[in-house]
A = this chain, B = another copy of it.
Amino acid sequence: MVQLKNKDLYFVSSNPNKFREIEPILRQYGIVSQLIKMSIQEIQSESVHRIAEDKSTYAFKHLLRPVVIEDDGFYISSLNGFPGQYSSFVYKTLGNQGILKLMLNKVNRRAYFLSVIAYNDGHTLKMFSGKTQGMLSKAAAEGGWGFDPIFLPKNTNKTYAELGRLNRKSFYSHRRKSIEKFSKWYITKRLQSGNR
C-alpha cells in the first residue's frame, strides 16, 4: 500500500463542482488533493488539450507545486461542435434553454463531453483524456450544474443531472475516465520514483 504524503497535489480550478467530482476518485487511488481556487486566463483555442496544457503551465509557475487542472468541452454534432470549448460562456449566456432551442427540429441529437486532465510538476507535463458519448435530452432535468441537465450519456435514459442525484454520474462521466487514467499513471510514477 502506498504511503501518503500530507498533500500530494493541488487541483487548480475556479469551479468547486469539478473538485467535488474529482477528489473522491483521486482518494480511491490513495491520492490526497487539495482545491486551489484560482481563475486562470484561458487562451482561445479549439483544442481542449492546448487550453489544459497552457493552464497547467500557468498554475505551476504560480504555485511551484505539482498541479492538476481539468478542462472540458461539450460538442453537439448537428451544431458543428458548438459549444465546444466555450461551454462556460455559452452556459452563462444561452443556458440549457438556449441549447434546446437550437436543437428544435434537429433529428441528430448526438453530443459528447470531453475531459482533459493536465498534470504539471515543472519537469513533467502529462495529459489524459476521457470522452463520453450521448444524446441531448428534449427537456432540461432538475438539478446538476452546467449542461448536466440536458445530457443523456449512452446506455442510460437518465441525464448527468439525474445520475448525479443518484450518485451514479461518476459511472458514466467523461471526467471520471480522464482522472482514472491520470491516477493510474500517477501512482505508478510515485512508486517508481520512490516518493512513498
Q: Using Cβ atoms and an 8 Å threshold, which residues of chain B touch A92?
A: 80
- B79–A89 CB distance below 8 A: no
- B102–A80 CB distance below 8 A: no
Q: Which stretch (A21-29, A37-45, A110-118, A182-190) binds chain B? A: A37-45
Residue among B45, B46, B101 making CB contact with A101, cutoff 8 Å: B101
> How many residues of A sit at the interface, in one of the four size bands?
20 to 34
Which residue of chain B lies nearest to A41 when distances are taken between CB atoms in the complex? B43
- B102–A98 CB distance below 8 A: yes
Whether a CB of chain B sits under 8 angstroms from the CB of A2 is no
- B89–A84 CB distance below 8 A: yes
Given the interface pairs A42-B44, A43-B43, the reply to whether A82 lies near B94 with Cβ below 8 Å is yes
Whether a CB of chain B sits under 8 angstroms from the CB of A128 is no
Question: Which residues 71-123 of A have a CB within 8 angstroms of B?
Answer: 79-84, 86, 89-90, 92-94, 98, 101-102, 104
